[in-house]
């Protein structure tokens, strides 16, 4: 079933972009097992913008820490030892420029101050006058953030938010251990925005618990609590447009994602192929491990405003031969931005996406 746009239109657009100039993000690699760094997933270049729309994006920037010592981070996770290289920062900036989002949700950012330094150094001409970022309560010292051309009216989050009271109803949940961890690993970030024309919407920027089945119960609890947060926003303002976006650390079929999708949130890229039997799958992969784990979900009020065919994944440098490169442990090559690829979609405020 197609609701976000015609698959044929999306395929044609993706193919056209994939065959675009080979100077964007390295040379293309038609063979997924080819040797050496290159372009493997996503589009080579962002599609042209549609007039009168807002482009909303999301990007996990792989532990961005600046070179300024933060006294709040010391010991095992001392930020002095974690500063991102100049090479990575330039690659991140290149990707963000190409994405050209009006509102960009980020994950794995050290702090608001660090983000402002990055913006001022690399993105000063992109119009990101509005910055939101709050401590997410995570021991590693990274948080969710937003860069925006649209004014931010409110920023909040819930560090240490308990998931102890969530109700697991129905089949398919992972077993809860005898001594479960019952708090969000990284608090969602709520950002309210309002355009000069008066269009208002809310972002819930998320970075859900990573890991396999042993940690799935935490992702599922976070998903259930996230639905409560969405319900609370819609209750306080029934007409509110809400986008839930970021790194969900879960494939489309996982229970934590099914909870969100079956409760009314809509994946703006639900038309994408997620099985490797489909030739278009590489265009939609969001992580260099070959998985789709980053999403832009919209509530029922906002989803009708999606511009059909506007959702895309932007490819950046893939580190190397998939038979030998280990994204968890191997040192990436020069020009590598992140283990995730940025994603975006356009909306046409208060109107059908056409």
Instruction: Please choose, from the candidates 347, 345, 338, the residue with its C-alpha nearest in 3D space to the C-alpha of residue 59.
Output: 338
How crowded is residue 100: how many other Cβ atoms within 10 Å of its Cβ? 16
Mean pLDDT of all residues in 8-22: 35
In this prediction, residue 78 has a pLDDT band, given cuts at 50, 70 and 90, of confident
For the chain, domain boundaries: 7-20+38-347
Q: Judging by DSSP bridges, how do beta strands 54-64 and 103-109 pair with one another?
A: parallel
Mean pLDDT of all residues in 11-16: 36
In this prediction, residue 276 has a pLDDT band, given cuts at 50, 70 and 90, of low
Instruction: Please choose, from the candidates 211, 104, 206, the residue with its C-alpha nearest in 3D space to the C-alpha of residue 161.
Output: 206
20-32 per-position pLDDT tens digit: 333 333 333 334 4
90-115 per-position pLDDT tens digit: 999 999 999 999 999 999 999 999 99
pLDDT at 225: 98
What CATH number labels 7-20+38-347? 3.60.10.10
309-332 per-position pLDDT tens digit: 999 999 999 987 656 677 777 778
Strand order in the sheet with 54-64: 130-133, 143-148, 103-109, 54-64, 343-347, 312-313
Instruction: Please choose, from the candidates 57, 64, 52, the residue with its C-alpha nearest in 3D space to the C-alpha of residue 42.
Output: 57
- H or E segment to which residue 120 belongs: helix 112-122
219-258 per-position pLDDT tens digit: 999 999 999 999 999 999 999 999 999 999 999 999 999 9
The CA distance from 39 to 61, in Å, is 18
């Amino acid at each position: 079933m197609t609701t976000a746009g015609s698959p044929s239109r999306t395929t044609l657009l993706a193919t056209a972009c994939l065959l675009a100039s080979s100077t964007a993000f390295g040379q293309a690699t038609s063979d997924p097992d080819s040797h050496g760094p290159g372009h493997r997933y996503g589009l080579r270049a962002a599609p042209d913008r549609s007039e009168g729309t807002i482009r909303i994006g999301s990007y996990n920037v792989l532990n961005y820490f600046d070179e300024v010592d933060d006294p709040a981070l010391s010991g095992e996770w001392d930020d002095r030892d974690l500063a991102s290289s100049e090479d990575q920062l330039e690659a991140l900036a290149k990707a963000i420029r190409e994405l050209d989002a009006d509102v960009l949700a980020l994950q794995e950012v050290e702090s608001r101050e660090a983000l402002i330094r990055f913006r001022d150094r690399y993105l000063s001409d992109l119009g990101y006058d509005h910055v939101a970022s709050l401590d997410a309560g995570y021991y590693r010292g990274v948080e969710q953030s937003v860069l925006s051309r649209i004014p931010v009216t409110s920023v909040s989050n819930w560090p240490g938010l308990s998931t102890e009271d969530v109700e697991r109803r129905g089949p398919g949940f992972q077993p809860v251990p005898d001594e479960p961890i019952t708090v969000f690993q990284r608090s969602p970030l709520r950002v309210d925005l309002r355009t000069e024309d008066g269009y208002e919407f809310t972002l819930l920027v998320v970075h859900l618990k990573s890991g396999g089945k042993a940690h799935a119960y935490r992702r599922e609890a976070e998903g259930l609590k996230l639905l409560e947060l969405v319900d609370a926003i819609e209750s306080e303002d029934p007409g509110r447009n809400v986008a839930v976006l970021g790194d969900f650390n879960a494939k489309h079929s996982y229970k934590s994602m099914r909870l969100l999708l079956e409760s009314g949130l809509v994946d703006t890229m639900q038309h994408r192929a997620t099985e490797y039997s489909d030739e278009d799958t590489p265009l939609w992969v969001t992580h260099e491990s070959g998985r789709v784990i980053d999403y832009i979900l919209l509530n029922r009020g906002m989803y009708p405003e999606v511009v059909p065919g506007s959702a895309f994944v932007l490819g950046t440098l893939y580190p190397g031969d998939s038979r030998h490169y280990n994204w968890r442990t191997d040192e990436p090559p020069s020009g590598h931005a992140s283990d995730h690829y940025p994603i975006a979609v356009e909306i046409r405020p208060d109107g059908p996406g056409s």
